[in-house]
Amino acid sequence: MSDRDPQPVERQLPTEEARDLLALVRDIAQREIAPKAAEEEDAGRFPREVFTLLSESGLLGLPYDAEYGGGDQPYEVYLQVLEELAAARLTVGLGLSVHTLASYALATYGTKQQQVEHLPAMLGGGLLGAYCLSEPSSGSDAASLRTKAVRENGGEWVIDGTKAWITHGGIADFYTVMARTGEDGPRGITAFLVPGDAPGLTGATPEKKMGMKGSPTAQVHFDGVRVGDDRRIGEEGQGFFIALSALDSGRLGIAACAIGLAQAALDEAVAYATQRRQFGRPIADFQGLRFMIADMATQIEAGRALYLAAARLRDAGRPFAKQAAMAKLHCTDAAMKVTTDAVQILGGYGYTADFPAERYMREAKVLQIVEGTNQIQRMVIARHVAGPEAR
Ligand SMILES: Cc1cc2nc3c(=O)[nH]c(=O)nc-3n(C[C@H](O)[C@H](O)[C@H](O)COP(=O)(O)OP(=O)(O)OC[C@H]3O[C@@H](n4cnc5c(N)ncnc54)[C@H](O)[C@@H]3O)c2cc1C
């Protein structure tokens, strides 16, 4: 590795406050997150203390209302924070994105009373959230979920079922859970806020994954879990709509994480290519690699521009679902391509765990799968562009 510092990303930030925020985040990322990333990912260790630090630094509720402990930041700023964190360690960037996703239902559809009671602890009180939509037999077809919530004599709800693939499953302090309370299909689903220590809620042994080994992904079992009606979010039957609306914003988080990961891979590849010599010259002199580097940088810039354009639509209160799906699709495919090319630029060393390029490549893969696979993103985009499918 050379001592060459990567070129700083030229960020478009709307305020001086946002510039200070990004400087703080970069400092935390470089001092507290990046130095331990490789070792802890290898050991499969979740850095809970980093999330405590992010909470203490006011970074766990950035896009939400300051009245409830949020940071009142527009999405275009929050997403660039995510990008910096993901560049340091994807487990942290994606973890914050999932926490934000898990907080969305209550922050957007909760009653005033629910928000006063729960949001300050969720957004700035050190709690960590999980979002529970997927199940063992329902992934892309999420509306077919089977976890049931049944109301007992107009009193408490009793939740039974198994959620699958849950990020922070088993370690989260709160779970936003979509459960069936009525008819089959999307209209029979309701959202609930379930505390992590609710009796009957258990996390299974985390999955053994290809990458992001420090981020626990586990099934969560609900075995007669009881919650009061004051923990129902939104109307009965509104849960699927809430879940999809959360995912529109969540996909922007995944897009930003993908660009952070790709940027880290590009920086690594350029640092290596300027130092490694073959045929008497740095390999960065060879046009075959220069063109690869140019393509990598272009895909990253295009991805950043796309997610920021979608974020600015969201910040302006305009529809952004199509652009969010496009950003998720483009940025995660770009991250897969850029991280694969980074391994190629490092040659044999790229295939070893001595350099982070191989980890970046393994981590990029999951971003094409989570929060709607990239096939599902294409379906969403096509519906916006070409209209609904004729059945
Ligand atoms: C590391 C990790 C973390 C996750 N975190 C969470 C979480 O926190 N909360 C949560 O709820 N879920 C989470 N998920 C689940 C994730 O959202 C699902 O894996 C994803 O939605 C796909 O569902 P599936 O795995 O059941 O695949 P399936 O839906 O079975 O899909 C299998 C394949 O078929 C394709 N496919 C399916 N339907 C169609 C179609 N109509 N047209 C074309 N192709 C199609 C898919 O694109 C995919 O390639 C996580 C997953 C992973 C791997």
Domain ranges of the chain: 16-124, 129-237, 241-386
Pocket test for ligand 1, best of 99, 192, 369 (most atoms within 8 A of CB): 369
Q: Is the CB of 243 under 6 A from ligand 1?
A: no
Q: What is the mean pLDDT of each run of 10 residues along the chain (391 residues)?
A: 61 95 96 97 98 96 97 98 98 98 98 98 96 98 98 95 98 98 98 98 98 98 98 98 98 98 98 98 98 98 98 98 98 98 98 98 98 98 95 74
Tell me how many degrees the CA angle 150-155-160 measures, rounded to the nearest 5.
Answer: 25
Q: How far apart are CA 112 and CA 55, in angstroms?
A: 23
Say what the pLDDT of residue 4 is: 45
Contact 192, 159 (CB under 8 A): yes
Atom 30 (ligand 1) nearest CA: 139
Reading the block at residue 328, the tokens are 């998720």
- Mode of pairing for the β-strands spanning 129-132 and 174-180: parallel
Topology of the domain covering 16-124: Butyryl-Coa Dehydrogenase, subunit A; domain 1 (1.10.540)
- Cα separation, 48 vs 69, whole angstroms: 20
| 122 ligand 1 Cβ < 6 A | no
**Is-contact 346 354, C-beta < 8 A?**
no
CATH of 129-237, one of 1.10.569.10, 2.40.440.10, 2.40.110.10, 3.90.1150.10: 2.40.110.10
Q: Cβ atoms within 10 A of the Cβ of 38, count?
A: 15
For ligand 1, the distance from its centroid to the CA atom of residue 374, given in whole angstroms, is 9
- The answer to whether the CB of 139 is under 6 A from ligand 1 is yes
Reduce the DSSP state of residue 267 to 3 states and report it: helix
Q: What is the CATH number of domain 241-386?
A: 1.20.140.10
Bridge partner list, 226: 158
Ligand 1 in reach of 367 Cβ (< 6 A): no
Non-local CB neighbours of 72 within 8 Å, separated by 6+ positions: 64, 65, 66
Measured in Å, residue 140 CA sits from the centre of ligand 1 at 5
Q: What pLDDT was estimated at residue 6? A: 65
CA–CA dist 54, 87 (Å, integer):
16
Report the nearest atom of ligand 1 relative to the CA of 142.
21
Closest CA to 294 of 345, 358, 361: 345
56 belongs to the catalytic site: no
369 lines ligand 1 (CB under 6 A): yes
Q: Whose CA is nearest to atom 6 of ligand 1?
A: 166
Q: What is the position in ligand 1's atom list of the atom closest to the CA of 209?
A: 1
Predicted model pTM: 0.97
